[in-house]
Structure formats: C-alpha cells, structure tokens
Homo-oligomer: A and B are copies of this chain.
C-alpha cells in the first residue's frame, strides 16, 4: 500500500514553505521512492539567465526528503553530491525522481535524477540520510 508514503508527502508538504514556493507537485509516492515536478519561473534564474544551481538542488533535495521519509521514519540528510549535466531554462518543466539505492538499518543512500520536459538530465544528486527514531505522522 502506498497510503503511508502519500500521507507523509502531504503532511510534510503542508508546512514545507519552500517547496510550496517552488510550487512542487507530487506525482508518485512509494516506499523509498518519490517523483515530483515544478515549472521554472523567472525568480529561479541566476545571473547568467539559466536556472540557479540551488533551485535544481532544492528540487532534488525535496524529492530526497519525500522518498527517505516515506516509511514514516523521520530521516535527515547527512550529505549529498550534485553534478549538472545540462543547464535548466526559464519555462522548463523539471521532474525529480528519487530512488533508494542502498539501505542499512540506520542510514540509506538515494539517487535523484532531475530531468526537463525533453528527458534531458539537468541534475544528478546522490545523498545519504540518517533514520531517526521519530515518526513523521502523528500516532
């Protein structure tokens, strides 16, 4: 059942004011997996007229957060590595897909791929999270 991953996403999103500002839309929510989407607006550009690296990262980081908390175990990001295969542009529809690539009892690693509407890779993010003993949803 994917009710818990979806409920976790909705609970997190309801107070995730920055993801709200990015106007993130949830597309798919499963255990250890999330796919989300947003459109690039003018206030997301950097001084060279392309998507600010921080926006690509933020979208990826939100996807990571939804995927890694999907078990209703509150997880925090320890660190992450991002590369930028291609620049994003104004008006692009960016999709971020986060997949769990390995997991131990207390930590897990995720790969997040950010692509545009033409399936071109805009960002590749790999990050490690730590699973706390708390839940996301109220008991």
**Chain A residues near B (Cβ < 8 Å):** 11-21, 42-49, 52-55, 57-59, 61-62, 65, 74, 76-86, 101-102, 106-107, 109, 121, 124, 126, 128, 130
Contacts and interface: CB of A to CB of B under 8 A. Distances in A.
A49 B107 contact: no
Contact of A16 (B45, B76, B102): B45
Contacts of A12: 46-48
Given A15-B47, A55-B58, A83-B109, 19 more contacts: A13-B47, A15-B45, A18-B45, A18-B52, A20-B43, A46-B65, A52-B58, A53-B65, A58-B58, A76-B84, A77-B84, A78-B83, A79-B81, A81-B81, A82-B82, A83-B126, A86-B102, A106-B130, A109-B124
Contacts of A76: 84
B16 A47 contact: yes
B57 A43 contact: no
Contacts of A54: 18, 54-55, 57-59, 61-62
Contacts of A86: 102
Main secondary structure of the interface of A (DSSP, over half): mixed
Given A47-B15, A82-B79, A58 B61 contact: no
Listed from nearest, the 10 A-B pairs whose CB atoms lie closest are A54-B58, A12-B47, A85-B102, A16-B47, A81-B81, A18-B52, A79-B83, A17-B43, A54-B61, A53-B61
